[in-house]
Structure 1
Amino acid sequence: MTRDYSQFLPTDAQTPAQTPEPAKRAMLDILGWQPFFAQQLALETLTQTPPVRVVEVHRNGLQVRGADLEALVPPGPEATVGDWLLYDAELPTRSVVLERKSLFKRRAAGHDRSIQMIAANVDTAFVVTSCNNDFNVARLERFLALAFEAEVAPVIVLTKADLCEDPTPFVAEAQKISARVPVVLLNAKSEEPAQKLADWCAPGQTIAFLGTSGVGKSTLVNALFGSEQAETGAIREDDSRGRHTTTSRQLHFTDSGLAILDTPGMRELQLAEAGDGVADLFSDVVEIATQCKFRDCAHESEPGCAVRAAIADGTLEAERFERWRKLEAEERHNTASLAEKRAYDKNFGKMVKSVTKAHKGRKGRR
């Protein structure tokens, strides 16, 4: 069947008033197709290899959905949840991954020196935490640095406000992290999510809920749908931690055209190749550090250290400075470790090719 994708290509005459009603919206719009992706290709390319979006990643491949097809693409394309592919029906493993608007990534858990892609083409990241023992400023900063590095707009969402006698201190601590990050306090089991998160949940947008287990991410997904889309569970009373009710990253789609990504709780979040994100989040500390007398100031006991002076006069909190220094050191170490592994793999590959070429040469002379 020949597909007509001309309506999904951007035109100068297109205006917001011409956008169809949600009920009549094309499936690609519901899946999050935007002009950013359409501008990367021609109509002929769309017709021959229709665009599909990765909605879930399995060990045996990528689950994708398009305007009129669903398929499982075998392992091959280096893609993650939220990616757009140009689907090659004859050879699915050669499906092309379109350029991304954004990409969440982290150092893989454990001792593996590699990068793990978390999600792609997200517009807004809701970093979720609870008004209880789960609340942790350092952990929130990690998620926010991840979002800044991915060039995704982050929003801090404080849940379980109904179970807290006074959530004001939690809100105040969250607001101190960054003036660039809005803070929303809500009861995830009420109508508040749909009301308070509406500004970021317009049709055609892709949002993601990030955080540890038990903070209410799946409950928020269900609240935006108005139905049970994701499994939820109770938290432990002793440490306010929850169990993994979400076991994989999966995109859900509302009838209005909002894509919602629910993620498993991430207890280990190692940053790598996220130097810009850390610098953006701690721009106040970075700015003060540029005023130190020595460019290589370690901010210990050096004369003319602007950072120590700011801590002494109360301009900068010592705890915030220490969290920045720890996160920056971790990011540098992980990034260097990954670079070393890549260099080793590259040199090893060259050695293998050299040995193989020499072996073939000896066989040819016999």
Structure 2
Amino acid sequence: MNPNTNQPNDPTNARQTLKTYGWSAHWQHQIESFPREAGLVPARVIAQYSHQYRIIAEDGERSAEVSGKFQYDAASRGDFPAVGDWVLVQPLAGEARAIIHAVLPRRSAMMRKAAGPSVHEQIIGANIDTLFVVCALNDDFNLRKIERYLIAAWDSGASPVVLLTKADLCDEVEARIAAVEASAPGVPVHAVSALQGQGIEQLVGYLTPGGTIAVTGSSGVGKSTLLNSLAGGDRMRVQGIRESDARGRHTTTHRELFPIPGGAVMMDTPGMRELALWEAEDGLQEAFADIEALAADCRFRDCRHEGESGCAVRQAADEGALDAKRLASYRKTSRELAHLARKENSASKRQQKTASKRAAAPRSRGPVAWEE
């Protein structure tokens, strides 16, 4: 944005501007086959502030909001744009703003249940290729928390990578790497120290030109320091942690997408105290692939791995071949997802009633706004 004119910057190469943020032949094909009105152009959502967005379009950065028709037609929060989405927008002549009319089909989307008692999904990020799941090696180290993030990662369609930060503050790095590898079959695990520059070279292979890498984890795990190291500068504001409990304060307050040297695009996300899963049955199966493989040998197809006769999973745990804590985590998460599915089914029925009434009502009722 040109601060002197408050107008979008003049592009020297329009397509190169979008390519910097991940535009590819895939998205070119998507837009060519997507039905659209004349005058709409592609853009990517690079930041979100409640119902306001910042996008990168052919003529540079603009602020944006969805059209009234988009709001009216949206059936759920998941229909709204999220950081990382490719959208079709109408630039407003003479202004640094645009109106979002459509979201192109997503290649991946990391989701969680929105905070609060209501049953709604919240998209953490869209069109992510690689997801860095970050956990500190200090007192905040928690295998069960890593498992939850991996469930969401696998369910999103992105490829997860576990990064164990603050390796310089841990005396048992190798043992903890081994523990994570046992709880994350097939997932790459790296120990790093961004402050010391330790292990950062292991991550270069993931930073492919045009690829989108998201970084997620709890507060205080060193995400901002890691991002600054990968971006080659002090881009993200960093806050300290409380030494009493190794907990950090939220440094990032919103999701944001930005290019880094080498051609990759990074997505930062606010730290989360707790990750409430959303429709993650597929992710559960991937994250606990070892238990799913054992379950194939259970006597009963609907075995819950509690006390049923002929349970291969229970037998493996009794014999020490399967960590009892990991099995307990699997059971707890399975119950959680089943409970959420029941609540969602009830909420869906109520929503269908509301949608039917809205469809029968005059159009003049106006758009529906979905709160974060």
| TM-score normalized with structure 2 length | 0.84
After TM superposition, the structure 1 stretch with the greater mean CA deviation from structure 2, 269-278 or 59-68, is 59-68
User: Once the two structures are aligned, what percentage of the paired residues are identical?
Assistant: 37
CA contact (8 A) 2:89 2:98 kept: yes
Aligned to 1:59: 50
Pair 1:94–1:201, CA change in 2 (3 A): closer
CA distance in structure 2 between the aligned counterparts of 1:230 and 1:200, rounded to whole angstroms: 20
CA distance in structure 1 between the aligned counterparts of 2:297 and 2:238, rounded to whole angstroms: 49
**In the alignment, does 2:211 pair up with 1:221?**
no
Of 54, 72, 77 in structure 1, the residue corresponding to residue 63 of structure 2 is 72
Q: Deviations over 1:36-77 (max 9, x none)?
A: 211113299698422111011112411101232322212445
Q: Deviations over 1:6-34 (max 9, x none)?
A: 996xxxxxxxxxxxxxxxxx111111112
1:197-346 alignment to 2 at 5 Å?
197-346=203-352
Aligned to 1:360: none
CA distance in structure 2 between the aligned counterparts of 1:83 and 1:263, rounded to whole angstroms: 15
CA contact (8 A) 1:37 1:99 kept: no
Paired letter, 1:85: V
Q: Please tell me the root mean square deviation across aligned C-alpha atoms, in Å.
A: 2.6
CA distance in structure 2 between the aligned counterparts of 1:241 and 1:92, rounded to whole angstroms: 40
Equivalent position SS for 1:176:
helix
CA contact (8 A) 1:190 1:223 kept: no
Deviation at 1:228, TM superposition (A): 0.8
| TM-score normalized with structure 1 length | 0.85
Pair 1:283–1:43, CA change in 2 (3 A): closer
CA distance in structure 1 between the aligned counterparts of 2:351 and 2:165, rounded to whole angstroms: 44
Equivalent position SS for 2:331:
helix
Deviation at 1:294, TM superposition (A): 2.0
Pair 1:352–1:85, CA change in 2 (3 A): closer
CA distance in structure 2 between the aligned counterparts of 1:164 and 1:353, rounded to whole angstroms: 59
Of 158, 173, 193 in structure 2, the residue corresponding to residue 152 of structure 1 is 158
CA contact (8 A) 1:300 1:308 kept: yes
- Higher Rg: 1
CA contact (8 A) 1:193 1:220 kept: no
Equivalent position SS for 1:154:
strand
CA contact (8 A) 1:88 1:95 kept: yes
CA contact (8 A) 1:193 1:224 kept: no
**In the alignment, does 2:90 pair up with 1:88?**
yes
CA distance in structure 2 between the aligned counterparts of 1:152 and 1:320, rounded to whole angstroms: 23
After TM superposition, the structure 1 stretch with the greater mean CA deviation from structure 2, 88-97 or 287-296, is 88-97
Deviation at 1:94, TM superposition (A): 4.7
Deviation at 1:135, TM superposition (A): 0.7
Paired letter, 1:99: P
Report the number of matched residues. Answer: 337
CA distance in structure 2 between the aligned counterparts of 1:241 and 1:35, rounded to whole angstroms: 43
Q: Deviations over 1:135-191 (max 9, x none)?
A: 111110111111100111111101111122232222111111122110111111133
Equivalent position SS for 2:30:
coil
Deviation at 1:353, TM superposition (A): 5.9
CA distance in structure 1 between the aligned counterparts of 2:205 and 2:23, rounded to whole angstroms: 19
Q: 5+ residue gaps in structure 2?
A: 1-9, 71-79, 363-372
**In the alignment, does 2:188 pair up with 1:186?**
no
CA distance in structure 1 between the aligned counterparts of 2:359 and 2:250, rounded to whole angstroms: 44
Paired letter, 2:226: L
1:18-167 alignment to 2 at 5 Å?
26-42=16-32, 48-76=39-67, 78-89=80-91, 92-167=98-173
Deviation at 1:194, TM superposition (A): 4.3
**Could you say which structure has the higher strand fraction?**
2
Q: 5+ residue gaps in structure 1?
A: 9-25, 358-366
Paired letter, 1:28: L
Q: Deviations over 1:308-336 (max 9, x none)?
A: 21112222221111111111111121132
Paired letter, 2:28: A
CA distance in structure 2 between the aligned counterparts of 1:35 and 1:320, rounded to whole angstroms: 42
